[in-house]
Amino acid sequence: MSDATAAGGKQPQEFEKVLSGSDTSVANFETQSRTPLETAQHFLHSNPAAVPLIVLLLSILGFGIAVGGKFFSAFTMTLILQQVAIVGIVGAAQTLVILTAGIDLSVGAIMVLSSVVMGQFTFRYGLPAPVAILCGFAVGGLCGWLNGALVAHMKLPPFIVTLGTWQIILAANFLYSANETIRSQDIDAQAPLLKIFGETFRLGGAVFTFGVIVMVLLVAVLWYILNHTAWGRHVYAVGDDPEAAKLSGVRVKGMLVQVYVLSGLICALAGWVLIGRLGSVSPTSGQFTNIESITAVVIGGISLFGGRGSILGMIFGALIVGVFSLGLRLIGTDPQWTYLLIGLLIIVAVAIDQWIRKVAG
> Is the predicted pLDDT of residue 3 greater than 60, yes or no?
no
Confirm whether 160 is domain-assigned. yes
d(C-alpha 267, C-alpha 78), whole Å? 23
Confirm whether 121 is domain-assigned. yes
Of 202, 282, 237, 2, residue with least CA distance to 99:
237
Mapped onto helix, strand or coil, the DSSP state of residue 76 is: helix
Predicted confidence band at 22 (pLDDT cuts at 50, 70, 90)? low
Lowest mean pLDDT among 31-35, 54-58, 116-120, 129-133: 31-35
Give the chain's length: 361
d(C-alpha 345, C-alpha 342), whole Å? 5
Instruction: For residue 135, give the CATH number of its domain.
Output: 1.10.3470
Confirm whether 108 is domain-assigned. yes
Compute how many other C-beta atoms are within 10 angstroms of the C-beta atom of residue 130: 11
Confirm whether 92 is domain-assigned. yes
- Structural contact between residues 143 and 169, judged by C-beta atoms closer than 8 angstroms: yes
State which of 8-12, 63-67, 197-201, 235-239 shows the largest mean pLDDT: 235-239
Backbone angles phi, psi at 238, to 5 degrees: -65, -40
The total number of structural domains that make up the chain = 1
Confirm whether 22 is domain-assigned. no
Measured over the CA atoms of residue 138, residue 289, residue 237 and residue 148, the dihedral's sign is positive
d(C-alpha 60, C-alpha 165), whole Å? 38
d(C-alpha 242, C-alpha 96), whole Å? 15
Question: What is the model's pLDDT at position 24?
Answer: 61
Span 207-232, pLDDT tens digits = 899 999 999 999 999 999 999 999 99
Percent of the chain with pLDDT strictly greater than 70 = 90
Confirm whether 38 is domain-assigned. no
Question: What is the model's pLDDT at position 350?
Answer: 82
State the average pLDDT over residues 248-260. 96
> Is the predicted pLDDT of residue 18 greater than 70, yes or no?
no
List own/partner pairs for 123-130 with CB under 8 A and 24 or more apart.
123/182, 123/186, 123/190, 123/191, 129/191, 129/192, 129/193, 129/194, 130/193
Confirm whether 48 is domain-assigned. no
Span 111-154, pLDDT tens digits = 999 999 999 999 999 999 999 999 999 999 999 999 999 999 99
d(C-alpha 204, C-alpha 239), whole Å? 43
- Structural contact between residues 195 and 188, judged by C-beta atoms closer than 8 angstroms: yes
Of 280, 262, 259, residue with least CA distance to 271:
280
Question: Which H or E element spans position 299?
Answer: helix 289-299
- Structural contact between residues 84 and 293, judged by C-beta atoms closer than 8 angstroms: no
Structural domain boundaries, residue 293: 70-352
- Structural contact between residues 105 and 290, judged by C-beta atoms closer than 8 angstroms: yes
Question: Which H or E element spans position 310?
Answer: none
d(C-alpha 317, C-alpha 304), whole Å? 14
What is the greatest pairwise CA distance in the chain?
115
Predicted confidence band at 89 (pLDDT cuts at 50, 70, 90)? very high
Confirm whether 270 is domain-assigned. yes
